[in-house]
Structure 1
Amino acid sequence: MLRFTGSARSFCDGVSRRNFLQVGAFGAGLTLADMLRARDAQAAATLRQPTRSQKSAIMIYLPGGPSHMDMYDLKPDAPAEFRGEFRPVDTNVAGVRICEHMPMQAMMWDKLSVVRSVVSVDEHSDSLVLTGYPDRVNRTADHPSIGSVISKLRSQEASAVPPFVSLRGMSRGTEPGYLGIAHRPFTPGGQGNSNLRLANNVTEQRLDARRDLLTSFDDTRREIDATGTMRGMDAYTERAIEMVTAGVVRNALDLTKEPQAGRDRYKGVEQFLTARRLVEAGVGCVTLSIGGWDTHGQNFQTLKRQLPQVDKGVATLIQDLHDRGMQDDVVTVMWGEFGRTPKVNMNAGRDHWSPVMSALVAGGGLRMGQAIGESTAKGERPKDRPYTVPAVLSTVYRALGIDPAMTFPNGSGRPMYVLDDREPVRELIG
C-alpha cells in the first residue's frame, strides 16, 4: 500500500495545508503498478510529442510569503518604518547588495541571480509558483505542477528512479491536475516512506511473496474488469517492484552514505542535502520547503533565525552542484507565494503584499550574477521590468529543455498549454 501524507501547516487564513491521499490495492485505490500503467497509457494521448528533458529542477518553497524588503530588495534610504532593521551588504558582484543575514550567498553571488520585480496574487497557496496558475483558477482548471509535467514527459522511460519527489509532502501546488494521479509526487517523508524504500523488516524475499499475492488479487480483479484495463499488470508490477528494490533512491535518501564532512556542512538543513542527492540519482524534480514566513508579527525576530538557515542551505547546495559539474543540469528556484507589506505594522511585522516579490534562481545554464529589476523606493511595486510568476516558470521550463507552449489534453480532451503566459525572463536566458 502506498500512502502520501502532507505536513500540516496553518497560515493566518486559518486553512490547514494538510492534504492526505491513501492509495490501496482494492476498491477505488491504486497500487504503484496501477500508477505506472496509467502513466504509460496517458503518454499515448499527448497531443504534441514532448521533447524529453534529462535536466532537473529543485523548487524551494518558503511558505507564508517571505519579505522581499528584508532579503533581496532592501531599501536603506527609505523611512525607518519601511526599511526595517536589516542592513544590506555587498556581494561579490559589483552593484548587487543583499541582506546582512545572508553572507554566504553574498560571497557567491556570481553563481546566483534574483528577480526582484515579480508580481504575484494574494493567496496563501503554492499553486501559483508551482503550476503558473493561481489557486482560485486551479480549483476548477486543474493545471499540473512543474514536477508533474516533468513526470509526464518521462513517463515512457523505463527507470528505477521516480521523476518527481516532494520532500514536503503533498499540497495543492504539487498536484498533477488533469495529467492524472500517475504523476503525483513520491513522498519519502513520514508515512510516505513506503513509496521509495522498503518498509521496516520487509526483505526483498518478503516483497516477492507480497508481489505474488498481489498478482493473485489482480487476476481476480482482471476477471471482473470488463474494460480490460488490468491487462499487462504483471509488467507494470515488475517495474513497480524495481523502483523499490533497485535501491537507487533508497541510497539517495540514506544520508549516512554521505561522507561525514558533507553531512556536517548541511547540519540543520539536511533537506537541501537530500535534494542534491536525489537529483544526482536522476530525479527530475524535487520540491522542499523550509521555515514559516507568514510574519504578521515579529518579522525581524523570526527572520534573524530563519535567514541564516536559508543562507546555509542555498549556498551549500549551489556550491555542491558546481563542485560536481552539475550547475548547468540543475535549475534551482526559491520563492514564496507573495512579498510582505513595505511598511512595518504595529506588531513589528509585515502583512501580505502581492504587488511585488523576489525570486532566487540558480543554475540550469541561465545567466547568473544578476539582480533583475527592483521595486520602487519604498518597496511598493516594480520600478522596472515587472515579471509575472509564469514568466519565471517559463524560464525554468526552457532551462529544462521543455517547451512551455506544449499542450496536453485535460479531462474533457481539450488541449491545454503548460503555461498560457510564456514570456520568459529575458535577462536570465541571454
Structure 2
Amino acid sequence: MVGFSQILIVPCLINFPSIPLSILLSSVFSFEFHPLDDCEGSKMLTVQDRMLNHTCAGFGRREFLKAGALGLAGFTLPDLLKVKAAGLTQGKPFRNKSVVLLFLQGGPPHIEFFDPKMTAPSEYRSITGEIPTNIPGVTFGSTFPKLAKMTDKLAVVRSYQSRNSSHTYLSVTSGGNSMKAAMGAVCSRILGTNDPTTGIPNNTLILPEAVQDGLKLGSNFETGAIPTLTDPGSLGSTYAAFNPAGGGKAKENMELNVSPERLADRKGLLGELDSIKRNIDADGSLEGADHFGQQAFDLVTKGVGFAFDLSKEDPKTLAKYDTRPHFDARKLQRWGDMRRATNLLGLQMLMARRLCESGCSFVTVSDCGWDYHANNNSPKGMTGIYPMGNQVDHAVSAFVQDLHDRGLSDDVLLLVTGEMGRSPQLNANGGRGHYGDMTSLLVAGGGLNMGQVIGESDNLAAQPATRPYGPENLAATILNFLFGLGPLRLIDGLPSDVLAMSNGTPIRELF
C-alpha cells in the first residue's frame, strides 16, 4: 500500500485549527514526491520551505509536513478521516447541507424590500413603488423585478423583527444564545472546523475584498462592527469564521510564521503542486492506496483553494452573477455611511455557491452601505436603494436559479436579512431611521416550503400583525435544517449551551 498514511506537524505550526491545510501549504512551501528511504515500496510527499531557516526544532531546511512520514501523537490524517467518516454512519445528524447568510449591514428598509404598503399614507409607503410577484396579490418593492418573478422559489417573512436598533450584529446572528456565538461558529462547533472530505472550512466569511484582489475600502462604523457578524463568543477562536480576505485568528497565526516575500510566490507554488499531482496521476503512483490514504493525498494536492478561485468558474456562469456593470460603486462610497458599499455582491454570492459545493456548511456574505438616514452620510431621498436594491435582486436571483439548475436547492438554505429594518415614516430628507420592530427576511431553498409570504405587518408596516418571529426562531430554523432539532440532542460531547439551542422554535411555516 502506498504510504500516504501520516502527517508530521512541527510543534511551532501545530496551532492552525482554522487554516485549511492546502492554503497553508500552497502559500509557503515547495513540494517533492519520492520513494521513502526507509520504507520499501512506499512513497512520500515532502513539503519543504525553500528558504534556509531555523525552525523551533532547529532544522536548517525546513520539512514541516510529510504525508507518509511520522504522525502527530500517532494520529494520522487518514486516521482522522476514518474517524469522521465513521461518525457519519453512527446515527449522528450530519446532512451534508449548507447555509448561506447574506447579511445586509446598516439596516435595509423592509418597506422598500418586500412589504411596500402602497395603501399607507405617502410618508410611509415604498418610495420605489411596487411590482407584482407571481404570487397573486403579493408585491415587492420595484427594485426587485427578478425576485418577483421567482417567488415560487422564495419565502418572505413579513412578521420578522430583529428587535435590534443599533449597528451591532451579534444579537441577530447568534439568535441570542447564551454563548454569544454567531450561528456559523455554533455550526462549526457541532460539525468540526473543516469538512472531512475536502478540507474546506465549515464557517467562512466572504467580504468584498475576498473577490477582488487589492481592494481597499474606506472605514466607517461598519468596519468596526464586522467582527460582531461572525463572533464565536465563548466557543473560542477555534470556531471563528475563516476570512479569505485576511483577518481573524487563522490569518494572525499565519502571519506570525510566513513572511510576505514567501507569500508573494504563492501562485508559483500552486503551479508546482499541480504539476506534481499531474505527474503522480500519470505514473499511477497512488494505485492501490486505500480510500483514506487517497483522500489524505487529495486534501494536500487538490486543496481548498479551488473553491475560492473565481477564475476557475465557467465564464458564462460568472457573467450571470456579475453585478459590477450595474453601477459605479465609487459614486456611493463618497458618502460616509456607504464607504464599504460595492458592486461585487454577485461575485460574493458566486463564491458562496462554490464553497457550498465544496462542503462548507455555513457561509456569511457581507454587503454594506444600507444605513439610509438620508443625511450628510447617505444620499437624500434614499436614492442608494436603486443601484443597491437592483444588485441584491440580480445577485440573489442568480444564486437561487443557479442552485435550482444544479440540483442544489434542497441542500443549500439562503437567508437574506440585516441587523434591523428602518422606521416606517420617512424623515424630512426622505430617509428612514433605525428600527428593530420590523426587519426584512427572505428565505430560499433548503427543501423548505417556498412560494409563500409568512405573516403580516400592520397597515403601516410598523409592527407584526400576526405571530412575530425573531432571531431566536431564525437560529432554530438553521439548526433544524442542518441537523434536525431532535437528532441534535443526541450528539455526544456538545456543550450544554449548544444543546440548549435544540429547544428553540423554528419558523413553523417553512417546515
For Structure 1 versus Structure 2, the TM-score category normalised by the shorter chain is 0.7 to 0.9
Secondary structure of 2:305's counterpart equals: helix
* Inter-CA distance 187–345: structure 2 relative to 1 (3 Å threshold): same
Residue correspondence of structure 1 range 294-305 to structure 2 within 5 A: 294-297=371-374, 298=380, 300-305=382-387
Q: Are positions 1:201 and 2:244 aligned together?
A: no
Question: What corresponds to 1:281 in structure 2?
Answer: 358
- Distance of 1:205 and 1:75 partners within structure 2: 56
Q: Are positions 1:368 and 2:429 aligned together?
A: no
* Inter-CA distance 391–328: structure 2 relative to 1 (3 Å threshold): same
Between 1:149-158 and 1:119-128, the stretch displaced more is 149-158
Q: Are positions 1:179 and 2:235 aligned together?
A: yes
For 1:79, which of 121, 139, 149 is the aligned residue? 121
**One-letter amino acid of the counterpart of residue 264, structure 2:** N
Task: Check the 8 A contact 2:373/2:382 in 1, yes or no.
Answer: no
Question: What corresponds to 1:120 in structure 2?
Answer: 162
Provide the TM-score with structure 2 as the length reference.
0.63
**One-letter amino acid of the counterpart of residue 272, structure 1:** M
Question: What corresponds to 2:202 in structure 1?
Answer: 163
Q: Are positions 1:31 and 2:16 aligned together?
A: yes
Q: Percent identity?
A: 34
For 1:254, which of 309, 322, 333 is the aligned residue? 309
* Inter-CA distance 384–307: structure 2 relative to 1 (3 Å threshold): same
1:394-417 superposed Cα distances (whole Å, 9 cap, x missing partner): 122212224289579999x76454
* Inter-CA distance 129–33: structure 2 relative to 1 (3 Å threshold): closer
Secondary structure of 2:124's counterpart equals: helix
* Inter-CA distance 262–418: structure 2 relative to 1 (3 Å threshold): farther
* Inter-CA distance 427–191: structure 2 relative to 1 (3 Å threshold): closer
Q: Are positions 1:290 and 2:327 aligned together?
A: no
Residue correspondence of structure 1 range 31-180 to structure 2 within 5 A: 31-32=16-17, 51-122=93-164, 123-133=166-176, 141-155=178-192, 158-159=196-197, 160-168=199-207, 171-180=227-236
**One-letter amino acid of the counterpart of residue 134, structure 2:** N
- Distance of 1:96 and 1:416 partners within structure 2: 38
Question: What corresponds to 1:320 in structure 2?
Answer: 402
**One-letter amino acid of the counterpart of residue 145, structure 1:** A
Task: Check the 8 A contact 1:178/1:409 in 2, yes or no.
Answer: no
Task: Check the 8 A contact 2:421/2:435 in 1, yes or no.
Answer: yes
* Inter-CA distance 316–114: structure 2 relative to 1 (3 Å threshold): same
Task: Check the 8 A contact 1:394/1:424 in 2, yes or no.
Answer: yes
Residue 175 of structure 1: CA displacement? Answer: 2.1
Between 1:117-126 and 1:375-384, the stretch displaced more is 117-126
1:292-348 superposed Cα distances (whole Å, 9 cap, x missing partner): 111111353010120000000100000000000000000000000111000000121
Residue 102 of structure 1: CA displacement? Answer: 0.4
Residue 178 of structure 1: CA displacement? Answer: 2.7
Between 1:113-122 and 1:97-106, the stretch displaced more is 113-122
Question: What corresponds to 2:430 in structure 1?
Answer: 348
* Inter-CA distance 426–33: structure 2 relative to 1 (3 Å threshold): closer
1:97-124 superposed Cα distances (whole Å, 9 cap, x missing partner): 1111100001111000110111222331
* Inter-CA distance 174–409: structure 2 relative to 1 (3 Å threshold): farther
Task: Check the 8 A contact 1:405/1:418 in 2, yes or no.
Answer: no
Secondary structure of 2:365's counterpart equals: strand
Secondary structure of 2:322's counterpart equals: coil
- Distance of 1:70 and 1:163 partners within structure 2: 33
* Inter-CA distance 306–404: structure 2 relative to 1 (3 Å threshold): farther
Unaligned runs of 5+ in 2: 1-10, 22-71, 73-79, 85-90, 211-225, 255-261, 274-294, 324-345, 375-379
- Distance of 2:271 and 2:140 partners within structure 1: 55
- Distance of 1:356 and 1:77 partners within structure 2: 18
**One-letter amino acid of the counterpart of residue 152, structure 2:** D
1:61-88 superposed Cα distances (whole Å, 9 cap, x missing partner): 0001111111101110111111142211
- Distance of 2:229 and 2:181 partners within structure 1: 8
- Distance of 1:185 and 1:356 partners within structure 2: 28
Task: Check the 8 A contact 1:404/1:422 in 2, yes or no.
Answer: no
- Distance of 1:185 and 1:241 partners within structure 2: 25
Question: What corresponds to 1:8 in structure 2?
Answer: none
Question: What corresponds to 2:390 in structure 1?
Answer: 308
- Distance of 1:199 and 1:404 partners within structure 2: 46
Secondary structure of 1:65's counterpart equals: coil
Residue 240 of structure 1: CA displacement? Answer: 11
**One-letter amino acid of the counterpart of residue 83, structure 1:** R
**One-letter amino acid of the counterpart of residue 245, structure 2:** G
- Distance of 2:396 and 2:18 partners within structure 1: 36
- Distance of 1:415 and 1:84 partners within structure 2: 41
1:238-277 superposed Cα distances (whole Å, 9 cap, x missing partner): x999756432x31111111111111111112210111111
* Inter-CA distance 83–240: structure 2 relative to 1 (3 Å threshold): farther
Question: What corresponds to 1:263 in structure 2?
Answer: 318
- Distance of 2:297 and 2:427 partners within structure 1: 55
Residue correspondence of structure 1 range 185-224 to structure 2 within 5 A: 185-190=241-246, 199-202=263-266, 203=269
**One-letter amino acid of the counterpart of residue 178, structure 1:** S
* Inter-CA distance 84–325: structure 2 relative to 1 (3 Å threshold): closer
Between 1:163-172 and 1:361-370, the stretch displaced more is 163-172
**One-letter amino acid of the counterpart of residue 170, structure 2:** S
Could you say which structure has the larger radius of gyration?
2
Question: What corresponds to 2:39 in structure 1?
Answer: none
Question: What corresponds to 2:60 in structure 1?
Answer: none
- Distance of 1:102 and 1:126 partners within structure 2: 25
Residue 162 of structure 1: CA displacement? Answer: 1.5
Say what the alpha-carbon RMSD is for the aligned residues: 3.5
Q: How many residues align?
A: 357
Task: Check the 8 A contact 1:131/1:145 in 2, yes or no.
Answer: yes
